[in-house]
């Protein structure tokens, strides 16, 4: 099995790497936040993994200890199909993804879902900040699914009120 480690924020290069990894058999891609070392991660398997295709370092918020969580393709495909069953995916043109690729929300709902449905994936480059909010305001003319955490949406509402 080939293993690739990505350590960083949104970047134009990461999109194709994620998509290609998901389509390829016998590949594992591990996505880590900047400054996190793989050696410090502890593996936590979800069920019985036949062939993990992605690994994401958790922050340890719930477990009090950061862990490397591995996902296999069939888990990801099931999650995407269940989420997509709640709305008409054909109406969307863009997917604006605030969460970083090393966050399970950003990886699964952002990068992989955009690829699966042929949506234009828009990710603000680098760290999250005011520039990302401005970029979001620019794409709202077309049907855009926006992904974010509660903190992202709080900032968006505040920014819209300012405009």
Structural domains present in the chain: 2-162 (3.40.50.12780)
pLDDT, tens digit, for every residue of 69-112?
A: 888 888 888 888 887 788 788 888 998 998 888 887 788 778 88
Determine the average pLDDT of the residues in 35-50.
57
For the entire predicted model, the pTM comes to 0.78
Residue of higher predicted confidence among 125 and 42 = 125
* Residue 49: pLDDT over 70: no
Residue 89: is it exposed, middle or buried by C-beta count within 10 angstroms (0-12/13-18/19+)? middle
SS3 45: strand
pLDDT on residue 120: 92
> Which backbone phi and psi does 30 adopt, to 5 degrees?
-110, 125
Q: Taking Cα atoms as reference points, which of 139, 84, 76, 141 lies closest to residue 117?
A: 84
């Amino acid at each position: 099995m080939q293993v690739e480690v990505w350590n960083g924020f949104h970047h134009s290069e990461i999109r194709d790497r994620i998509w290609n990894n998901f389509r390829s058999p016998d590949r594992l891609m591990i996505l880590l936040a900047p400054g996190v070392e793989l050696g410090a991660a502890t593996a936590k398997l979800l069920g019985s993994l036949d062939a993990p295709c992605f690994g994401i370092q958790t922050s340890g918020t719930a477990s009090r200890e950061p862990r490397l969580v591995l996902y296999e393709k069939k888990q990801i495909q099931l999650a995407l199909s269940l989420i997509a069953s709640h709305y008409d995916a054909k109406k969307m043109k863009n997917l604006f993804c605030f969460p970083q690729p090393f966050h399970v929300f950003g990886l699964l709902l952002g990068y992989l879902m955009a690829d699966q449905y042929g949506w234009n994936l828009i990710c603000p480059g680098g760290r999250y900040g005011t520039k990302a909010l401005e970029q979001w305001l620019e794409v709202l003319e077309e049907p855009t699914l926006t992904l974010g955490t509660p903190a992202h949406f709080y900032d968006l509402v505040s920014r819209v009120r300012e405009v």
